C-alpha cells in the first residue's frame, strides 16, 4: 500500500468532495485529506504526512485562491497540483502555468476516466491541461 498515490482533495462542495473521495479510493488512490477550501492548508499539512497530489477547486466567483496555490507551491513544491473548476472561460491558465500548476480539469466536462488519467499523468511528472 505504500506505493499508492496519496491525494488531498480541497473543495467547498460537500457532495462533490465526498463522491470524488469515494471514487478515488475505489480506483486505487489513497485520500489523505478531504477538506473545505477555507481550511488553513498550512495547519493541515503540518499535522501529518504530505500528499503526492492536491486536487484543489479553483474559485472564480467570490474570490480566487491564487494565494493558497502560491503558498502551497512555495512551501511544498514537490506536491503536484490538479485544479478543478466549473468556469472554463475564467480560469487564468497562463498564471497557473507560471505557478507550476501541473493540470486543470473542468468539472462539467470531465468524466471519471479523465480524472484518473490526469492524476496518473501528473504523478508521472507531466502536465495535464
Taken in order of first residue, the domains within the chain and their CATH numbers are 6-123 (3.40.50.2300)
Average pLDDT estimate for 72-77: 91
pLDDT digits (tens, 9 = 90+) for 6-28: 999 999 889 999 999 999 999 99
34 beta partners = 9
Query: pTM of the predicted model, to two decimals?
Result: 0.89
Alpha-carbon torsion angle 62, 110, 37, 22, nearest 10: 150
82 beta partners = 55, 103
Residue 1 has pLDDT above 50, yes or no: no
Q: What is the pLDDT of residue 38?
A: 67
Which among 26, 95, 51 has a CA at the least distance from the CA of 104? 95
Amino acid at each position: 500500500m505504500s506505493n499508492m498515490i496519496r491525494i488531498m482533495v480541497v473543495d467547498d462542495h460537500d457532495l462533490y468532495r465526498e463522491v470524488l473521495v469515494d471514487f478515488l479510493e475505489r480506483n486505487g488512490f489513497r485520500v489523505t485529506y478531504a477538506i473545505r477550501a477555507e481550511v488553513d492548508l498550512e495547519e493541515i499539512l503540518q499535522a501529518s504526512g504530505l500528499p503526492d497530489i492536491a486536487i484543489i477547486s479553483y474559485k472564480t466567483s467570490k474570490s480566487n485562491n491564487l494565494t493558497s496555490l502560491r503558498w502551497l507551491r512555495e512551501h511544498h513544491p514537490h506536491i503536484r497540483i490538479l485544479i478543478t473548476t466549473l468556469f472554463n472561460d475564467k480560469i487564468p491558465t497562463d498564471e497557473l502555468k507560471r505557478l507550476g500548476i501541473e493540470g486543470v480539469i473542468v468539472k462539467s466536462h470531465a468524466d471519471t476516466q479523465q480524472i484518473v488519467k490526469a492524476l496518473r499523468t501528473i504523478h508521472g511528472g507531466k502536465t495535464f491541461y
